[in-house]
Amino acid sequence: MAELGSWRLLVDGQHPGAWNMALDEAVLEAVCAGAVPPTLRLYQWTPACVSIGYGQKVAEFNLRALAQEGIELVRRPTGGRAVLHGEDITYCLCLPATHPVVAGGVVASYRRLAAGLRLGLARLQVVGEPATAVTGVRAPACFLGCNHEELACRGRKLVGSAQWRRDGGVLQHGSLPLSGDVGRIAFYTNLPADEQVALAERLRRAAMTLEEAAGRSVSFHEVAFALAEGLAQALGIRWEASELTSAEKERAARLAAEKYLSEAWNANR
């Protein structure tokens, strides 16, 4: 791809779920307004949090069981199915809808971005395989199946992604489990106990962590910079390490309070 200039890189810290989603939306608004360049934000979640897809029913999850273990729940603005965050790295890429990287629709843009993620994984000595067809199933958890151009390793899903297009902008979320039990999310669903066990086993067969794929423990910062370098190589961009603006933080505070922490947003749809 032709040289596309400098983009902003935010290697962020660990935040609660509502604040993470509010920050992502605030960044998208700033990008759409031309206040900041296209932006990649890489971050983690503390405390652990289940993020459900925009159209998913919160009733699929046992809120009491989550609360007992100090796990939050938040609805994402992006689609897809639920992800249990806490031992993963999440990326959020925000671009104007007119940008050539996201031209041609969702699948075409997934393909371009997946090429960069694959190069990032290669820097970690992990071979990412793009899904060539939709293999997802209707289940509570994202990592049970692959969507277009999501990445697998040795036939098991490794990176889940989802996209949101609105008001002249495109936001793509993605999650890469670093370690832990990819089947754990099953035990916070409202499925009967035997079905939870079966779902957990299916998830463990269908997905894997980066630690398993690489055969070693890999730190957040090592993965963050590998993914950023892979995307820069694939897209023909240069990163400018930066920080959130005061306006983005102020907007995120309002979005967190008024939207992502509200029952109206997180309740059933």
Which pLDDT band holds residue 141 (cuts at 50, 70, 90)? confident
Q: Is the pTM of this model over 0.85?
A: yes
27-84 pLDDT per residue, tens: 999 999 999 999 999 999 999 999 999 999 999 999 999 999 999 999 999 998 999 9
pLDDT score recorded for residue 215: 97
Distance between CA atoms of residues 248 and 256, nearest Å: 12
Confidence at 3, pLDDT banded by 50, 70, 90:
low
Sequence ranges of the domains in the chain: 6-266
Domain 6-266: top CATH class:
alpha beta
Alpha carbons 132 and 185: distance in angstroms, whole number: 26
**Per-residue pLDDT, 156:** 92
In order of 134, 159, 166, 248, the CA distances from 146 in angstroms are 6, 9, 24, 33
Just list the catalytic residues: 142
Nearest-angstrom CA–CA distance, 242 and 193:
46
Apex 189 CA angle, 67 and 179, nearest 5: 80
- Please report the sign of the dihedral spanned by the C-alpha atoms of residue 150, residue 24, residue 7, residue 230: negative
Q: Is residue 1 very low, low, confident or very high in pLDDT (cuts 50, 70, 90)?
A: very low
Strand partners, 158: none
Average pLDDT over residues 197-209: 95
With a cut of 70, say whether residue 132 has pLDDT above it: no
pLDDT higher than 70, residue 138 = no
Task: Specify the pLDDT at position 61.
Answer: 96
Check residue 2 and give its pLDDT: 44
